[in-house]
Structure 1
Amino acid sequence: MSLNSKYCDAFLAVAETQSFEAAAKVLNLTASAVTLRVQSLEKSLGQVLILRERPCKVTHTGQMLMEYLQSQRLREQQLLQQFHGLDTDEFSVLHIATNADSLATWLLPTLSKLLLQEKISLKFQVADQSQTHMLLETGKVSACISSQSQAMKGCQTQLIGAMTYRMVATPDFIQRWFNHGLHRESLRKAPAIIYNDQDQLHSEILLTHFGLTQQSYPFHYIPSSTAFAEAIFAGLGYGLVPDYQIADRIQRNTLVEILPECRTDVKLYWHHWKQQSPALQQLTTVILEQAKQHLNHPISS
């Protein structure tokens, strides 16, 4: 048995748009035609792939198929670029995963010249640095910035540096919440700023040093690197911020490092497939060279 490409295209369009109607517009078909193709694929596999809800959701089996098809599509794009090259007016497309802090600070300034000169279009997926590796493993991206050091099969990895995080707060925040000292009880009452539920750095520090679980203190989830930092700058809470965003504020004393002993270096690695398209090779070269100027450099890898 083989997978019918038209059926798979219909399924993937529904899975990615979460709608039969939207998928129909993408494929220039009627919604009923898309429905029939997805039904035929489900029948041939003997599995339900799409839950007909609003929005549509993929089943566990559907998720497996979607990841496989996305991986195949990405590899096909790269292979065609290697075989045929690109017309002078055509952009090459790369799918990259990165942590939000890299994207908000050093990454785009590092790549901007290359992207414009070589006509490279980047499709970013953002996840916690401990999770981006999974996007490469499932074939959703061609390369990623990750805190994972181990290369997966068929890929290469290189240490590019480290981002240093400091636990900081404004002087006014410290006066209000830590006026009688920074200790377990004061931390139980002071509001923290945490990026999202995948961000474990903050909670691990408070658990390790003060025995506090995340349920023991108030916190805000702010899943935007820029808004996250701005919330701390505005005195809404305290939190871990990379040096890149706060060095000048520390020098001007508009921010204070409240737990110097909890300063954390997060090593970052560049992962990519061994077989790279020319565009990905260029991107890899620039990141390996330019990261030296923007990231700290731990002694060991």
Structure 2
Amino acid sequence: MVDLQPDQLRALEAIAATGTFDAAARELGVTPSAVSQRMRALESAVGQVLVRRGRPAELTPPGQVLVRHARHLALQQADVLVELGIAGPAGARATAPDAETPDPLPEITLVVSGDALTTWALPALVEASGWARLEVLREDEEHSIGLLRDGTAVAAVSSVAEAVPGCRSTLLGRMRYRPMASPRFVERWFADGATHEALAVAPVLAFDRKDDLQERYLRARLGPDPAGPPRHYVPASHEFLRAIEQGMGWGMLPDVQSAAGERAGRLVGFDDARAVDVPQHWQQWRLHSSSLDRVAAAVARAARAALT
């Protein structure tokens, strides 16, 4: 039977987290040679290449499987220490573990979209920070799936309903997006309404090149290749909102973000009939973890309070 050694698994996880053997060694408080020896021993034990050496180092598919396993073990061990009453927020501050002893607080890596962080998810994360160390990765809903699949994250808020293998998926609610612009922008570009001709030339604002909400709206209005209007990109949710309010372009905004601007007269919905509902699903690994389940419950409560 293959015996997976904890120190070898921690070395593999550190390489995945930091990207190099040298950085992994610093993370673990050992020499780069020790990390290399542990990786050779682990690869020999499983009979497969786990890491492609380079800068950065890349996990092979078997390496990704073992990293998920390593992170499962670390999370479950932290939960056990909390359950035994020998770890937790107070205990973690009182005890200074050595370099290779896992932090007694559970460490949870989540993927959350910028819009969700800005509009409804942050209160849940603040609540969860009381019992876990959180690393929040900002990624578009659909692109968060890859981070779950390769083991980088243990949970994600995603628009994708189908569960990633090894995960379960739960619908949290829906964010309704509408095409929005400043009143002055509407007066200039859409004086006669959101016509085919106006949409073909009015400047468009997108979050980044992976943001396809505006493209989905334009395809519905202009056809399969809406290449005409110029695009601007502002990759931060708050600044994206401000750029629309100041007339840089029109863009799709969720109601939970645009409501205050509409009430104040800074924003106008110019084609409400073409709203786009984006589902918000919570996907998390299938493993027994009380801390991860508590995070899931906090996220679900925040979603119920804010989403449709």
Interval of TM-score (by shorter of Structure 1 and Structure 2) = 0.7 to 0.9
Aligned residues: CA RMSD: 3.1
Q: Is the 8 A contact 2:50 2:60 kept in 1?
A: no
- Write the deviation string for residues 146-201 of structure 1: whole angstroms up to 9, x where unpaired: 22223345433322111111110001222333345432332232221111222222
State the match for 1:94 in structure 2. Answer: 108
State the Cα deviation string for residues 194-240 of structure 1 (Å, max 9, x = none).
Answer: 11222222111101221263533211222221222121122111101
1:108 paired residue among 103, 122, 144:
122
CA–CA distance in structure 1, aligned partners of residues 293 and 36 of structure 2: 40
Residues 17-26 or 125-134, more deviating: 17-26
Which amino acid counterpart does residue 29 of structure 2 have in structure 1? N
Which digits, 9 at most, give the CA deviation of each residue in 1:51-70, with x for residues without a partner? 64xxx1345xx342452243
> 1:174 maps to what in 2?
186
Q: Residues 116-131 of structure 1: matches in 2 within 5 Å?
A: 116=130, 119-131=131-143
Q: Is the contact between residue 50 and residue 63 of structure 2 (CA under 8 Å) also seen in structure 1?
A: no
- 1:250 CA displacement: 1.3
In 2, the alpha carbon distance for the partners of 1:156 and 1:277 equals 13
How far apart are residue 4 of structure 1 and its match? 7.6
Normalised to the residue count of structure 2, the TM-score between the two structures is 0.79
What is the letter of the counterpart of residue 264 of structure 1? Answer: V
The one-letter code sitting in structure 1 at the alignment partner of 2:87 is D
Note if contact 1:203-1:213 (Cα within 8 Å) is conserved in structure 2.
Answer: no
Q: Which residue of 2 aligns with 1:299?
A: none
Post-superposition Cα deviations, 1:241-275, rounded to whole Å, max 9, x if no partner, equal 11111102112321111221211111112222343
Other-structure match for 2:259? 247
On the 8 A contact 1:74/1:141 being kept in 2, the answer is no
Structure 2, unaligned runs of 5 or more = 93-104
User: 1:157 and 1:250, CA in 2 relative to 1: closer, same or farther beyond 3 A?
Assistant: same
Q: Could you tell me which of 160, 181, 189 is aligned with 1:148?
A: 160
Report which stretch shifted further, 273-282 or 28-37: 28-37
Unmatched 5+ residue regions in structure 1? 297-301
- CA distance, structure 1, for counterparts of residue 74 and residue 15 of structure 2: 21
Q: Distance in 2 between matches of 1:135 and 1:212?
A: 30
1:57 aligns with 2:43: no
* Pairing 1:200-279 to 2, within 5 Å after superposition: 200-211=212-223, 213=225, 215-279=227-291
